[in-house]
Amino acid sequence: MTSEETRLKKLKYRAWHRGFREADLILGPFAENHVSSLSPAELDLFEALLDQPDHDIYQWIVGQAPTPPEFDHQVMNRIKLFRYEAHEARGDDHGG
């Protein structure tokens, strides 16, 4: 396994195992579907985002709190868009 493959595997694990189910259900599927297509710079941004508290990340994604400028980047925008896509695909009424 290459170091890049190891990094992607670790990021996917971290995204799925946040300790806050609502964040897991957005970040986990996002990581599964998108980390392999992120550039090295975008992976750095995603990794830095995963270092933040779960509740903060979740509030930024769902719009309950403004995203701080240092995390208001293309990766966060992709996660926000992914949340709506995932919600539509599930067809549920509980997207937050």
The answer to the question of residue 96 being in a domain is no
The answer to the question of residue 95 being in a domain is no
CA atoms within 13 A on the CB side of 73: 13
Mean model confidence pLDDT for the chain: 91
CA torsion sign for 38, 42, 44, 45 is negative
CATH no. for residue 83? 1.10.150.250
Higher pLDDT, 64 or 96: 64
pTM strictly above 0.95: no
**Structural domain total, the chain:** 1
The answer to the question of residue 34 being in a domain is yes
Q: Which domain holds residue 49?
A: 3-90
Relative orientation angle of helices 54-62 and 74-90, to the nearest 10 degrees:
70
The answer to the question of residue 11 being in a domain is yes
DSSP state of 68: P
